[in-house]
Each structure stands twice: as C-alpha cells, then as structure tokens.
Amino acid sequence: MPVSSARQVAVLFARRDSPYKQIASCDVYDIDRDARSYPGGLPVIAHPPCRAWGRLAHLSRPMPHEKSLADFALSCVRRNGGVLEHPMASKFWRHARLPLPGWLPDEYGGITIQIDQCDFGHPARKATWLYIVGVPFHLLPAWPEGQGVPTHCITSSIRPFPLPEVSRYWREATPPVLAHWLIQVARLSAQLAKKKPPPWSAAGGSLL
C-alpha cells in the first residue's frame, strides 16, 4: 500500500496507544504492523525495544529476535535520516560504535545528544540518548532543557527516591511534547537532505 502523501515521518516500534497515531503527518508502525516491513522513503523516528540493551539487560527476557531490532532501526535512520531513541548509557551505543554525546559526528553525519524526558512532560527523570542523522547540532530545534519537575521516579530499586514509581505505561510511553519535537527533527533531516547530498554519498561532506 503506498504511503499517503500527508505522511511526512515514519515512526517505528511505537506503542499501540502511541500519541504519534493522533498526528496526521506520522506513518506509525506498532507491534501489529511490524516495523520490519517499513519500505523506506520517509525520515524515521525509531523507538526500538531497549530491555536487552539496558543496565538491567541481564535480568530481562527479550524475545529471540528482539535485540536485533535496534540494528534494523539504526539502518533505517542512516538510510532515511531521522532519530533513534534509547535510554542513556544503552549498551547498543558500544555495540554499534555510535558517537557519545559531545563527540564529533560519525561517518554518516550522525550525532548523539542527551535529553531528560521530564523536560518534555514525562512524570519522572528519564535520561535519554538520541542518535540523529541529517541534522547537525547547531540546527536542532530548541528544547525545554532543565524545565521539568519530576513527580515520580522510574524505579526505586535502582535509586531510592522519595517519589512513587511510574506506571508501566510511563516506562514505555513518549510524552506528546517530545513526540512533536522528534517529528520536527525528522522533518528537518528530510529538508536538509534536499539541499545537499548526505555525507556518505560520493559527493558527500560533513553536515557540520
């Protein structure tokens, strides 16, 4: 089925109840649609499963194919531009040799920034890494850094905190404000790609 002309961004590995589904510009792939069927053609926002790559990976029980989904998401972001999101200190960064926050861009023009989802309306402090291809740091849209006030914590077992733990929904969900910001970044990657060849092409060069 061809993608509607109104779709401007593909969202991979979204929740069934994802806020992206309420945004007309998003072509959303949840567990039922299977992100691995994404054919390309739109910039990507990828939220691949993270439990096999996180700090407590040794306690998780991912499905046999689940760990490889991050590799698939990375290939989509590098081919189409956009963003890959994972928790801070995800072991996927070492596995894929991605740049850490503050490092120079990699050979794909990709950079990593760190955000706190609490600044975007998440009820808890949730430090997050975003690997971005197609948009240099100085052209990223501004975000509400340092403005969030947590009312909950992610888990008291890792860091005892005098706040209640978040619900299972908020362990996985993307705050709507963050979803809209990520859409801006993905759309900008497509706009910039039209102005110059990507850094991995024959005529490439740094996006910075």
Give tens-digit pLDDT for 22-69.
Answer: 999 999 999 999 999 999 999 999 999 998 786 654 555 666 688 999
Task: Give the total number of structural domains in the chain.
Answer: 1
pLDDT number for residue 161: 61
The identity of residue 140, as a single letter, is L
Kindly state whether residue 87 falls inside one of the protein's structural domains: yes
The pLDDT tens digits of the residues spanning 121-158 come to 999 999 999 999 999 999 999 999 999 999 999 876 65
Residue 10, judged by CB atoms within 10 A of its CB (0-12, 13-18, 19+), counts as buried
Q: Is residue 22 assigned to a domain?
A: yes
CB–CB of 76/108 below 8 Å? no
pLDDT at 60: 56
Domain span at residue 151? 9-195
Q: The whole model's pTM is what?
A: 0.88
Question: Which tens digit of pLDDT belongs to each residue from 160-208?
Answer: 568 999 999 999 999 999 999 999 999 999 999 988 665 554 444 433 3
Please compute the mean of the pLDDT values over residues 114-127 and round it to a whole number: 97
- Residue 186: inside a domain, yes or no? yes
Residue 4 placed within a domain: no
Strands 111-116 and 127-133: antiparallel
Name the 3-class secondary structure at 89.
coil
| Alpha carbon separation from 153 to 15, 89, 119, 145 (Å, rounded) | 21, 18, 14, 18
31 assigned to some structural domain: yes
Q: What is the pLDDT, as a whole number, of residue 65?
A: 82
pLDDT, position 158:
56
User: For residue 50, what pLDDT is reported?
Assistant: 93
Is 7 or 1 the better-scoring residue by pLDDT?
A: 7
- Mean pLDDT within 5-13: 91
Amino acid 144: pLDDT:
96
